[in-house]
Amino acid sequence: MTKTVIQINAGNFTNVFLIRGHAGCALVDTGNPGKADHILERLAECGVAPGDIRLILITHGHVDHFGSAAELRERTGAPVAIHALDAEAVRQGKHLPESLKPTHWIVALAMRIPGITGPDCAPAFEPDIVFEEKWRLDEYGIAGQVLPTPGHTPGSVSVLLDSGEAIMGDVVMGDFLRLLRRPGPPIVAWDLEQNRESACRLLALSPRIVYVGHGGPFEDLSGLSKGCKEIM
């Protein structure tokens, strides 16, 4: 069976995703700056040419997710979409500082080490599609929807395909203390409580597999969805 979502390792423990719809392809997230060549090579291995990408969706305004968006837009010709509340990050080409609050004291300590959080700026650009509400991807040949899931950043979004696959950006993160093998809360967040609510709302829609920006994918979600209050 052809998989609808292909996870691509974009380096630095960061994933981006190819969605192969019934009548078109989309790229979800673009990794850190300088990753366009690597991503396009992985797409070619999947038989996908740059011109096959009809949409580039950015799950949120962190540099490790939009860093190569400007270059990939240029090379694919696809429009870049981001939620209005995170659009300023890509216009400035940097993280919005209020979205980088550590959620654990170990992270707070680690963030004092220069460079540990990776690049903090990327080529700035004006996004082509700026949205506020949930929307469907049918016009791009994909049966699924984009849902606002705020909390990690104000404008964080997730994708839920009709086939049951979800891409949740950094709403859920592979737990760094468990080598990314188990799902956990994000290590930084604008509003962790809102993030928890967003995660629970999406998991209540019963995705059968969850892809995330760091670690994953996670197929056994029973613990996560049943006990999401505790885990998140």
Minimum CB distance to Zn ion, residue 226 (Å): 25
CB closer to Zn ion out of 64 and 165: 64
Ramachandran bin of 69, using left for φ above 0, alpha for ψ from -120 to 50, beta for the remaining angles: alpha
Task: Give the interface with Zn ion as residue ranges (CB under 5 A).
Answer: 62, 64, 170, 213
Minimum CB distance to Zn ion, residue 191 (Å): 13
Alpha carbon distance, N-terminus to C-terminus of the chain:
33
Q: Determine the distance from the C-alpha atom of residue 49 to the mean position of all C-alpha atoms in its chain, rounded to a whole number.
A: 22
CB closer to Zn ion out of 71 and 170: 170
List, as one string, the DSSP characters of 90-115.
HHHTB--GGG-EESSHHHHHHTTSTT
Contact call for residues 82 and 155 (beta carbons, < 8 A): yes
CB closer to Zn ion out of 48 and 167: 167
Minimum CB distance to Zn ion, residue 185 (Å): 12
Residue 188 forms beta bridges with which residues?
102
Contact call for residues 19 and 11 (beta carbons, < 8 A): no
Minimum CB distance to Zn ion, residue 211 (Å): 13
CB closer to Zn ion out of 54 and 62: 62
